[in-house]
Structure 1
């Protein structure tokens, strides 16, 4: 049985909803997408392993392998999409619409469509001539917890020499990006009547002290850390949300602050977390058991491909584009745990991701197929 043509493959994969969300009313299993990819890849001679993601019930990874042993090339992507706002979309998100030299649909670039490019490139290659293993990895829940990629990185079942993650980079090789940390700081005070403020412990007033200390950390990061490859060269700390109190005539008993931090390569998520803890240590001593610092989600490390890697050199040659950095996060730091040089490289632009009327510009079709073919032949032949 022959595989469907390019456009039909695209239509089939986009038609399968696979939203991941922290909101349970949106969250969906990705198993149907995994099964469809496995069916297509099996027709090309791949051996498939479908595994449940332990920390994400109902979610699955696919490891499809052509060849034996370690080494070779890994092509990787995630099978989930973000939710969508039906009122803002002018087309059905799950129906690929071709218009104005574009393919519209949820996941066309971010990033189920990348698997279609892989399959289309494989159609043009004599796979019997490959001498090193080629693996296709399809992960779950990148848009929320990255649980799928984290599990792959922890298991270390295989070790490719090189890996390419097909996120939308405008077909420019991304070789480093910042990490992401979302942290919560909760102050638990003692409530009471506002007519006697000293009878309680006002959580808002303690949070004021916390913010002052975090402002110092903010400046310390700016003064002491720098990477010129990023538009914002230093690690950032952003005050994102604050909630506290319930009435002006009560002493505030609880106040919570949520912050976002973006570590650069060379600064680990644990170092940054401990920097926050150290900054608040005196406040914790002054108000015992009143200060709680915790992760809102598991931290995502920063990532950098070794700058000497010939993967970068070949990516620049094959695409005609220079390597660059990115401010968004990907699964790269977890894939890199497999021991392989890793870059992020795929069709479409990040500006179209997470937007209504997401689309793939058809001008990416030929060059993307060509790059994938060249990479497979170079690293697996």
Structure 2
């Protein structure tokens, strides 16, 4: 099977639904997208491996490798999209539509279009001599659990030293982003008649103490951790929602709080979770009440590639652009943990992602192809 034109590739990828969601009713697999990429890459000479997720065989990662050696370049992205509401779109979200010098469609920018651009960039270089591999990595479930990236191990990317995560950044190199934890705190007290507090143990009052502890911890963390590269330079802790009790004249027997913590580089999620758990244990002991904490989603660590590293300075030289930070999370920390120097950089804008009428600007395509070709020549060609 021959590789289609760039526009046809983007059209087929957008036209192949691959929504991932925490809601089972909306969640679907990504295998048709993975199979399409495999069918395009194999005729180009790539060694293609399709790796189903152990717990979800209808979802898979793809690792396509061209060449051998060490010091190679990974061009990485996710194949899933967020859900969408068709009624809010001006055109069919699953049919690529060109208008106003833009390519509209779900995943056009975030981030199926990147794969087509990467393949297009490689085509003219196929007859060149490689000193190190070019690897196209396509993952599953980035928009929900990041289970695809979590499943990767060092041996999957043998020979690679550098990674570009093609999230939509307007082609600006991104060297850092914050991490995230989303947690649920549940307090199980004892209900009873409100006329006699001795009959119960008020979970809502205990939660009041928990919230005080969390806000105190927030202040401590913001005093200790600061990163001037971010618009909001400290970690944040947001109290998102709370539910408890059922009647004014009944002692609250159960109360639940959901919050998120956005960490900055230098903060480990597990360390933060232990700090919070220690605070909760103090309240539980003091009030003789049961307090539990559970993750609402697998956390994502903060990411930072040192500005003096070879990849950052190399990309800065090629783009003539100062590296920046972003507030959204990506798969970058997972690649970094595998020992790869990593940057986030791709066509399109994050402002269009997760929105009705998502689009890829046509004016980003040629510069993206040229930039990826420069990176491949720099890190992979002899």
State the SS of the aligned residue for 1:238: strand
1:189 corresponding residue in structure 2 = 189
Q: Structure 2 stretches of 5 or more lacking a match?
A: none
Q: Deviation of residue 155 (structure 1)?
A: 6.0
Q: Which deviations, in whole Å up to 9, do the C-alpha atoms of 1:284-306 show, x marking residues without a partner?
A: 21244511012111211011112
How far, CA to CA, are the matches of 1:55 and 1:207 in structure 2? 36
How far, CA to CA, are the matches of 2:197 and 2:301 in structure 1? 43
How far, CA to CA, are the matches of 1:61 and 1:214 in structure 2? 38
State the SS of the aligned residue for 1:59: strand
CA contact (8 A) 1:55 1:147 kept: no
CA contact (8 A) 2:281 2:291 kept: no
1:251-262 alignment, distance < 5 Å: 251-262=251-262
State the SS of the aligned residue for 2:160: coil
How far, CA to CA, are the matches of 1:40 and 1:294 in structure 2? 42
1:17-96 alignment, distance < 5 Å: 17-96=17-96
How far, CA to CA, are the matches of 1:235 and 1:55 in structure 2? 33
- Normalised by the length of structure 1, the TM-score is 0.97
1:360 corresponding residue in structure 2 = 360
How far, CA to CA, are the matches of 1:126 and 1:111 in structure 2? 24
1:207 corresponding residue in structure 2 = 207
Give the root-mean-square deviation of aligned CA atoms: 1.4
CA contact (8 A) 1:59 1:140 kept: yes
CA contact (8 A) 1:71 1:132 kept: yes
Q: Which deviations, in whole Å up to 9, do the C-alpha atoms of 1:67-115 show, x marking residues without a partner?
A: 2244311110000000001221111001000000000000001001100
Q: Residues 220 and 205 (structure 1 numbering): CA distance in 2 closer, same or farther, change over 3 Å?
A: same
CA contact (8 A) 1:156 1:337 kept: no
1:168 corresponding residue in structure 2 = 168
2:198 corresponding residue in structure 1 = 198
2:345 corresponding residue in structure 1 = 345
Q: Deviation of residue 198 (structure 1)?
A: 2.6
1:312 equivalent in alignment to 2:331:
no
Q: Deviation of residue 317 (structure 1)?
A: 2.6
Structure 1 stretch 248-257 or stretch 355-364: which is displaced more?
248-257
1:112 corresponding residue in structure 2 = 112
How far, CA to CA, are the matches of 2:155 and 2:120 in structure 1? 29
Aligned residues: 381
- Normalised by the length of structure 2, the TM-score is 0.96
Q: Structure 1 stretches of 5 or more lacking a match?
A: none
Structure 1 stretch 298-307 or stretch 355-364: which is displaced more?
298-307
How far, CA to CA, are the matches of 2:296 and 2:65 in structure 1? 35
Q: Deviation of residue 376 (structure 1)?
A: 0.7
